[in-house]
Amino acid sequence: MSDCFDKQFEKIHAGKFTAAVIGLGYIGLPLLLRFAESGSEALGLDVDPAKIDSLSNQKSYIKHIPSERISAVYDKLAFSTDFEQLQKADVIVICVPTPLNQYREPDLSFVIDTVERILPNLRQGHVISLESTTYPGTTEEELLPRIESSGFKVGEDIFLIYSPEREDPGNQNFSTQTIPKIVSGHSANCLALAQALYDKVCDQVVPVSSTKVAEMTKLLENIHRAVNIGLVNELKVLADKMGINIYEVIDAAKTKPFGFTAFYPGPGLGGHCIPIDPFYLTWKAREYGVHTRFIELAGEVNNAMPDYVVEKVMLGLNQQQKSIRSSKILVLGIAYKKNVDDMRESPAVVIMDKLVKLGAVVDYSDPFIPVFPKIRNYYFDLDSVALTAENIANYDCVVIATDHDDFDYDLICEHARLIIDSRGKFKNDNENVINA
């Protein structure tokens, strides 16, 4: 054991450390608050000054994180865009995006740029934890050599951790504190510090033998969902052609107390994890000469679902002797899942774009997103439409893309001329409903 390790372990074990979290989005902000709630000093860093201003004024910009939670621990918090502030921290946690590029290959630019900005501010004893989802080998291949190029020895002077995030925004049953936390380290010293660190903010810590194992674990979790959703989406298309309600099938199947887990179809995959993470592994697999056909097939099925919904819109309008061109269509819900304000990779936005390109006049209604924000690849100059009886009746077609609990489905069913339901909110016996 090194003297540096002993000092850091004692400080973290005693809870007398400062934790800096870089990237204050859906992953970083709740983690930052957990550090503060556990009694540690917590520094939030982000390149977006608007986020820093909002947090400095004790205001949350994430729907499911109340401002009161920030106010409750405000004396433990500091916020900045200045990476020099990292010199005051003992722990640095990286929670930045890992998207795909235009070729559906991993884009690690946010991680690498963050590490490059950390390097001038490194000091002996720093514990660095990467939480961003990535392919197996990233911690060793990208972070380790950059850190050691600064003259520090990882495991003795600097301690490198990989601990994948497991947030589920909007889920009232699980939180940063209660979700079991996978931890790994580049060395035995790194792993010991990882366990001590996350034990302060999480109820259960699950150590694994290497950073590669932890990186692969996160991908397995999300690939498991992506593949099973792909399966049920494919079955939805088949069941529809056979005149079978797939939701009734799923409800019946899940009564089996063993060997079956219910997954539900939808208009496509959304969020930062499930539509993206499987392709991190398929990309890395090519290095080993492996073609991950199963994963890629699931991706093809899920990516085709917005087209399936649009086809149902065209079918429904045709049955009413209307062309999709110039038809007025209202898309209900543009978040990627219900009861959140997170639009990352939302299939609803893809559906909107396809409908507009076909000549439709498209509006949206979402209680969590009052104004359509500027997001990557898509933008509509629109405000959310109020769901009144008069407004609903004014549209040729209503598309349920995200099944928020706040929607009044009885009102929708009563006044909509045509409903394309991609979330199974209505039964087949509603004359104005087409399941998609």
- Angstrom distance (rounded) from CA 108 to CA 186: 19
Amino acid identity at 184: S
User: How confident is the model at residue 116, as a pLDDT?
Assistant: 97
Greatest CA separation for the chain: 79
Return the residue matching tokens 């439709």: 360
Beta bridge partners of 206: 182
Q: Tokens 């200045």 identify what position?
A: 82
Nearest to 99 by CA among 88, 83, 111, 82: 111
Q: What's the Rg (C-alpha) of the chain?
A: 24
Written as tens digits, the pLDDT of the chain (436 aa) is: 578 999 999 999 999 999 999 999 999 999 999 999 999 999 999 999 999 999 999 999 998 899 999 999 999 999 999 999 999 999 999 999 999 888 888 999 999 999 999 999 999 999 999 999 999 999 999 999 999 999 999 999 999 999 999 998 888 899 999 999 999 999 999 999 999 999 999 999 999 999 999 999 999 999 999 999 999 999 999 999 999 999 999 999 999 999 999 999 999 999 888 888 899 999 999 999 999 999 999 999 999 999 999 999 999 999 999 999 999 999 999 999 999 999 989 999 999 999 999 999 999 999 999 999 988 778 899 999 999 999 999 999 999 999 999 999 999 999 999 999 999 998 767 889 999 9
Residue 332, helix vs strand vs coil: strand
Q: What is the per-residue pLDDT for 413?
A: 94
* CA–CA separation, 31 and 43 (whole Å): 11
pLDDT, position 428: 64
> Three-state SS string across 35-100, please?
HHHCCCEEEEECCCHHHHHHHHCCCCCCCCCCHHHHHHCHHHEEEECCHHHHHHCCEEEECCCCCE
Choose the catalytic residue: 202, 273, 397, 413: 273
Quick one: which of 427, 319, 337, 430 has its CA closest to 311? Answer: 319
432 near 418, Cβ under 8 Å?
yes
- One-letter identity of residue 279: F
pLDDT tens for residues 129-169?
999 999 999 999 999 999 999 999 999 999 999 999 999 88
Q: Which pLDDT score, from 0 to 100, does residue 3 have?
A: 86
Closest to 266 measured CA to CA, from 322, 336, 315: 336
CA distances from 59 to 45, 55, 70, 76, 119 (A): 16, 5, 7, 15, 31
- Give residue-wise pLDDT tens across range 295-332: 999 999 999 999 999 999 999 999 999 999 999 999 99
pLDDT at 155: 96
Domain architecture of the chain: domains with CATH: 3-208 (3.40.50.720), 218-284+292-298 (1.10.1040.10), 304-435 (3.40.50.720)
User: What is the spatial distance between Cα 259 and Cα 269, in angstroms, rounded to a whole number?
Assistant: 24
4 classed as catalytic: no
Pick from 117, 143, 122, 139: nearest CA to 183: 139
Pair 21, 76: CB distance under 8 Å: no
Q: What CA–CA distance (Å, rounded) separates 324 from 309?
A: 13
CB neighbours of residue 426 within 10 Å: 18
Residue 248 vs residues 26, 229, 258, 284: alpha-carbon distances, Å: 34, 16, 19, 39
Q: How far is CA 265 from CA 72, 169, 177, 236, 324, in A?
A: 39, 19, 29, 7, 25
Instruction: Residue 147: name the closest of 193, 94, 200, 209 by CA.
Output: 94
**pLDDT of amino acid 1:** 54
